[in-house]
């Protein structure tokens, strides 16, 4: 292995994500070996996320990314060519320096992340190691516990129900392969339950979940619970439930609007509702229980829920070290959703994972609703030992690409039952 592995060339172009919207792809060449990456985009986004740059012109309804691509080819690329591809921190610091803002307010985080990823993948390829080994940097890789979408609502499913995601966590599984197979049974069982109740389950949401229009959020929880039973598994002991409230999408500045139920709730009432759901169903993880800037709501949620569930901050923390530091200081939530495109570089994303782990917060590495066919997220989860991963459901190829990559990594690490698997211990708490 040489001591210096210079980036030889780098270029970007516009591609489409899983929702058919443009996104940035980038290729980097290192030691004659080329690797490429395309970045995802979210529909349910936090107000404090790193800046995603869109063109705002007539192309693609303003969602084109030619300006972001140009910034890679004309600004970011020339600045990193010649740098050591193995020195991710230096590459990413250069990207921040070129933009002038750590959240990429000027040149766009979508372009910056494409560069950051492509360089890392090219470095791994040039060294002849799989990406998860490169990301692990000498540590032992760890297969994550999957958190898998079963029923979708909110911004991912045309508000079929208000809560954005109802997910299954196979807490009793002893290998990644078993975890996926169990949730496949749960998804099929839940579809059968919903179909039996007269609901259309032929259409799927952005992340591949069932998109049935239900009269209430509690109906989704009930169907999922019955689906677990239909799968022949024990609710709570073998398969538990996670929900992503995505409260930002419900918040109107004063109350939380549950449109499908024609109700408006104050923060205290929303938390009471969540407590009631936890009493009635085996819920062990709740994401974004309050809007990102609703300090009162988060305080109420923490008081009522943090001792009994994994209280997960997504829009709250937006994969930002400073926001996570503030949350840890104030005792807000107890776990963090990690999305590289919220941050803009691999280094700043890794910093969030490290801070969370040293502070006793669990981490869930997450895809976005507008995904690509890339599978690098699976390698990040294993290499960084995030413990948990949230990709979407078990349908749609941009989702299965990640699950299939994890199944291959499991094979490479010794196979089911031998490969190190995080299991239920990865959750910060179990109800």
- List of domains in the chain: 7-128 (3.30.390.10), 145-426 (3.20.20.120)
* Lowest-confidence segment of 28-32, 76-80, 115-119, 206-210 by average pLDDT: 206-210
Question: Does 339 participate in catalysis according to the annotation?
Answer: yes
pLDDT band at 44 (very low <50, low <70, confident <90, very high): low
Set 52, 207, 287, 398: catalytic member: 207
How many Å apart are CA 78 and CA 229, to the nearest integer?
57
pLDDT, average across residues 135-144: 97
How many Å apart are CA 30 and CA 127, to the nearest integer?
10
Question: Does 371 participate in catalysis according to the annotation?
Answer: no
Judged on CB neighbours under 10 Å (0-12, 13-18, 19+), 138 is exposed
List CB contacts of 357: < 8 A, sequence separation 6 or more. 363
- Whether residue 430 has pLDDT greater than 60: no
pLDDT band at 431 (very low <50, low <70, confident <90, very high): very low
pLDDT digit string, tens, across residues 162-180: 999 999 999 999 999 999 9
How many Å apart are CA 135 and CA 156, to the nearest integer?
30
Set 49, 287, 339, 410: catalytic member: 339
pLDDT, average across residues 378-407: 98
Pairing label, strands 33-38, 145-152: unpaired
pLDDT digit string, tens, across residues 54-68: 999 999 999 999 999
- What pLDDT sits at residue 45? 65
- Whether residue 2 has pLDDT greater than 60: no
CB atoms inside a 10 Å sphere around CB 20: 9
Give me the chain's average pLDDT, please: 95
Using the structure block, give the residue that is written with the tokens 């400073």.
Answer: 322
Structure tokens at 66: 């030619």
Structure tokens at 106: 């000027």
Q: In Å, what is the CA distance from 425 to each residue of 87, 210, 385?
A: 32, 28, 12
- Whether residue 158 has pLDDT greater than 70: no
Q: Find the length of the chain.
A: 431
- What pLDDT sits at residue 3? 81
User: In this structure, are residues 404 and 375 in contact, taking their beta carbons and an 8 Å threshold?
Assistant: yes
- Whether residue 345 has pLDDT greater than 90: yes
pLDDT band at 153 (very low <50, low <70, confident <90, very high): confident
pLDDT digit string, tens, across residues 71-127: 999 999 999 999 999 999 999 999 999 999 999 999 999 999 999 999 999 999 999
Q: In Å, what is the CA distance from 182 to each residue of 63, 221, 232, 376, 388?
A: 38, 18, 9, 24, 16
pLDDT digit string, tens, across residues 266-321: 999 999 999 999 999 999 999 999 999 999 999 999 999 999 999 999 999 999 99
Q: Cα–Cα–Cα angle for 40, 44, 49, nearest 5°? A: 70
Say which DSSP state 180 is in. Answer: H
């Amino acid at each position: 292995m040489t001591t210096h592995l210079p980036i030889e060339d780098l270029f970007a172009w516009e591609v489409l994500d899983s929702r058919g919207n443009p996104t940035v792809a980038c290729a980097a060449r290192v030691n004659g070996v080329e690797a490429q990456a395309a970045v995802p985009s979210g529909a349910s986004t936090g107000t404090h996320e790193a800046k995603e740059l869109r063109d705002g012109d007539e192309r693609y309804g303003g969602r084109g990314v030619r300006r972001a691509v140009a910034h890679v080819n004309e600004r970011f690329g020339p600045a990193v060519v010649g740098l050591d591809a193995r020195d991710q921190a230096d590459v990413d610091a250069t990207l921040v320096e070129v933009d002038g803002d750590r959240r990429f307010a000027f040149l766009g985080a979508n372009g910056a992340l494409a560069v950051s990823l492509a360089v890392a993948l090219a470095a791994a390829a040039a060294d002849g190691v799989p990406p998860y080994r490169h990301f692990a940097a000498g540590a032992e890789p760890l297969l994550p516990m999957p958190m898998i979408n079963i029923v979708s609502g909110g911004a991912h499913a045309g508000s079929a129900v208000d809560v954005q995601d109802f997910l299954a966590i196979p807490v009793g599984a002893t290998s990644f392969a078993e975890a996926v197979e169990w949730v496949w049974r749960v998804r099929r069982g839940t579809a059968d339950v919903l179909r039996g109740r007269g609901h259309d389950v032929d259409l799927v949401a952005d992340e591949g979940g069932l998109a049935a229009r239900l009269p209430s959020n509690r109906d989704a929880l009930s169907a999922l619970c019955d689906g677990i039973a239909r799968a022949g598994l024990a609710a709570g002991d073998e398969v538990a439930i996670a929900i992503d409230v995505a409260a930002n999408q419900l918040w109107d500045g004063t109350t939380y609007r549950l449109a499908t139920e024609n109700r408006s709730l104050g923060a205290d009432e929303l938390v009471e509702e969540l407590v009631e759901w936890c009493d009635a169903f085996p819920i062990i993880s709740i994401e974004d229980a309050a809007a990102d800037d609703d300090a009162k709501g988060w305080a109420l949620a923490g008081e009522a829920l943090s001792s009994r569930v994994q209280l997960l901050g997504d829009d709250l923390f937006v994969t930002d070290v400073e926001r996570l530091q503030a949350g840890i200081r104030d005792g807000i939530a107890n776990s963090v959703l990690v999305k590289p495109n919220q941050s803009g570089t691999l280094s700043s994303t890794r910093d969030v994972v490290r801070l969370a782990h040293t502070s006793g917060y669990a981490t869930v590495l997450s895809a976005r609703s507008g995904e690509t066919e890339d599978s690098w997220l699976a390698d990040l989860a294993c290499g960084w030992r995030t413990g948990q991963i949230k990709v979407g459901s078990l349908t749609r190829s941009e989702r299965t690409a990640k699950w299939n990559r994890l199944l291959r990594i499991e094979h490479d690490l010794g196979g089911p039952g031998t490969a190190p698997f995080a299991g239920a211990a990865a959750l910060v708490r179990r109800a």
